[in-house]
Amino acid sequence: MIDLHGQQFIGSQASAESSDTFQGFNPATSKALPTLFHEATEGEIDKALQLAASAFDEFRRTTPEQRAIFLDTLADEVEALGDQLLDQANAETGLPIPRCTGERGRATNQARQFAELLRDGSWVDARIDLPNPDREPLPKPDVRSMMLPVGPVVVFGASNFPIAISVLGADVVSSFAAGCPVVVKAHPAHPGTCELSSQAVLSAIKKCGLPEGTFSLIHGRSYETGLSLVRHPATQAVAFTGSLAGGRALADAAAARPNPIPVYAEMGSANPIFLLPGALKERASQIGSDYIQSVTLGVGQFCTCPGLVFGIESEDLNTFTASAAEGAQNSPLATMLHPGIYESFWKGVNAIEALDGFSLAGQSTDKAEVNKNHAACTIFETTSSALSDNPQLYDEVFGPVSTITKCQSTSELEQFASQLDGSLTATIHGTEEDLAEYAGLIHILETKVGRLIFNGYPTGIEVCHAMHHGGPYPAASHSHFTSIGTRCIYRFVRPVCYQGWPQAALPPELQDSNPLGIFRLLDGDFTQSPA
């Protein structure tokens, strides 16, 4: 068992310069947890980033194999924390132990997946254009390029994934894979989970002989702590998962720096579902009950929770709605992550309920217990005209609440699709015939979202090479980049080009002989052959 100390980690050193402290909180009991966590001072933030900057020169020049071993070791060290990590996450978030166990599996798989990516090596986008000294009118130079790390990265973890999108998340392990030191801002809703996770990271750093400053952890509840991390001159990129307001504030601060840096913020979305007639005819009731499973997964506290459903008015749509309503009524109440989210959820639900033209289709019938921060799965029903009058509904209400809109026509479906803000996902339930008939709708959605799901659900994201977890603003701050899946490493690298460089001084990835056997773009063709 590790005793929590509630301090920053400046590299491997615990530090508590401030006596301003806060505590974790168990939302399932409404009781504060014992450890006092110390707010970071400006001096501690500066030390962490100075140390990261000084670690960068050595860390970025580790070999891919060294970083792969580090990530494998990190995964092992996370597992070595045993149940303490799960118990801590459970206590701080109310998420059940099986869910925490699942998250841990995702985190360790993710770290090992990046180790595999590094061993494969082709991700660096190595390009070689061979010289031609005889070209007229000018000789063609030898030009080669590959991705290299950008420098220290600041990561803000998410409240809703205390293990898999926090200190041990893809933002951190992809930064490490790229060769970037990381300073994590611990989420104040699970500071103990962050501290324990950091122990695993620091232990792996020590075992692998990596430089002090490869990782630091900073605690703080205040807005200013986050802004100071983003504004620090050593910070070269920022990753954030959380609310639109939070992500935008960091992005604005980064854009206003003397030298602006990118903030890769994933800020959630409404994740609309479109129910097409063929699918409703075949299985309206089944879609209704599966939809409720998706809405309630993780107590609806997923960035991909489907908040809006659109279908054309019909008996089949009524069957879907009745099935969803029944599913909602039978859903158990569940504890939300913290009182702030709980209050926002109920405020959002009550606001929708008060709207003209919106009716409650179904809601958990369980009786909420005191001090458990319980959310009830809540499904509303409305008409296209009532939704049109309330565009604020396009914004996400975080939690297990969703609204079914009855449209009158295909063109109304298309109109709503056009009016949507950028979204992480859109889901279509349909037959293949539906897809052909509703091609116009699909074409609109392709320009609005990062991921299109057919006859499935947006929650339960697969961590793989082809995954894209991002989308047009406000789903993400930069639609070119993903925060989940191996492609997320590209946030933390930039191309560096070597012109006329001697073989011996080139990185192995760019040497003629291709010693790592990676795929390269050689004079415009992909090949593993030597140059």
- What part of residues 12-41 is at the interface with a second copy (CB under 8 A)? none
Calpha distance 181→304 (Å, rounded): 29
Q: Which stretch binds a second copy (CB under 8 A): 78-86, 194-202, 334-342, 449-457?
A: 449-457
- The upper half-sphere exposure of residue 51, i.e. CA atoms within 13 Å in the direction of its Cβ, equals 22
Q: How far is the CB of 209 from a second copy (least distance, A)?
A: 19
Q: Which of the residues 260 through 289 are near a second copy (CB under 8 A)?
A: 260-262
- Cα 122 versus chain centre, distance: 24
Counting residues that bind a second copy (by CB under 8 A) gives: 83
Contact assessment for residue 523 and residue 128, using Cβ atoms and an 8 Å cutoff: yes
Q: Spell out, one character per residue from 122 to 151, where the chain touches a second copy: x when CB under 8 A holds, - when not.
A: x----xxx--------x-xx-xxx--x-xx
Binder to a second copy among 286, 385, 496, 517 (CB under 8 A)?
496
When the beta carbons of 247 and 311 are compared against a second copy, the nearer one is 247
When the beta carbons of 241 and 304 are compared against a second copy, the nearer one is 304
303 is catalytic: yes
Which one, of 287, 262, 265, lies nearest residue 274 by Cα?
287
Calpha distance 132→123 (Å, rounded): 27
The two beta strands, 127-129 and 520-522, are parallel
Q: Which stretch binds a second copy (CB under 8 A): 213-221, 227-235, 376-384, 497-505?
A: 497-505
| By the rule CB under 8 A, 7 interacts with a second copy | no
Q: Which two tokens stand for residue 40?
A: 């970071």
Cis omega (within 30 of 0) for bond into 137: yes
Contact assessment for residue 303 and residue 483, using Cβ atoms and an 8 Å cutoff: no
| By the rule CB under 8 A, 116 interacts with a second copy | yes
| By the rule CB under 8 A, 472 interacts with a second copy | yes
Q: Which of the residues 186 through 225 are near a second copy (CB under 8 A)?
A: none
When the beta carbons of 91 and 263 are compared against a second copy, the nearer one is 263
116 is catalytic: no
Distance set, CA 143 to CA 68, 127, 129, 186, 265 (Å)? 28, 8, 5, 42, 34
| By the rule CB under 8 A, 494 interacts with a second copy | yes
Concatenating the DSSP letter of every residue in 203-217 gives: HHHHHTTPPTTSEEE
When the beta carbons of 209 and 500 are compared against a second copy, the nearer one is 500
Calpha distance 124→243 (Å, rounded): 31
Q: Which two tokens stand for residue 124?
A: 């660096």
Q: How far is the CB of 293 from a second copy (least distance, A)?
A: 12
Calpha distance 302→164 (Å, rounded): 12
| By the rule CB under 8 A, 97 interacts with a second copy | no
Binder to a second copy among 111, 158, 170, 442 (CB under 8 A)?
442
Contact assessment for residue 362 and residue 328, using Cβ atoms and an 8 Å cutoff: yes
Q: Which two tokens stand for residue 264?
A: 């890769």
When the beta carbons of 191 and 262 are compared against a second copy, the nearer one is 262
Question: What is residue 220's three-state secondary structure?
Answer: coil
Calpha distance 320→178 (Å, rounded): 46
The two beta strands, 153-156 and 143-149, are unpaired
Which one of the listed residues 212, 266, 414, 509 is annotated catalytic? 266
Calpha distance 521→322 (Å, rounded): 55
Q: How far is the CB of 174 from a second copy (least distance, A)?
A: 14
Which one of the listed residues 180, 194, 303, 407 is annotated catalytic? 303
| By the rule CB under 8 A, 454 interacts with a second copy | yes
Binder to a second copy among 83, 282, 315, 462 (CB under 8 A)?
462
Q: Which stretch binds a second copy (CB under 8 A): 21-29, 76-84, 394-402, 469-477?
A: 469-477
Q: How far is the CB of 330 from a second copy (least distance, A)?
A: 22
Calpha distance 378→525 (Å, rounded): 54
Q: Which of the residues 389 through 428 are near a second copy (CB under 8 A)?
A: 421-422
Q: Which stretch binds a second copy (CB under 8 A): 5-13, 191-199, 407-415, 450-458?
A: 450-458
Catalytic residue positions?
A: 266, 303
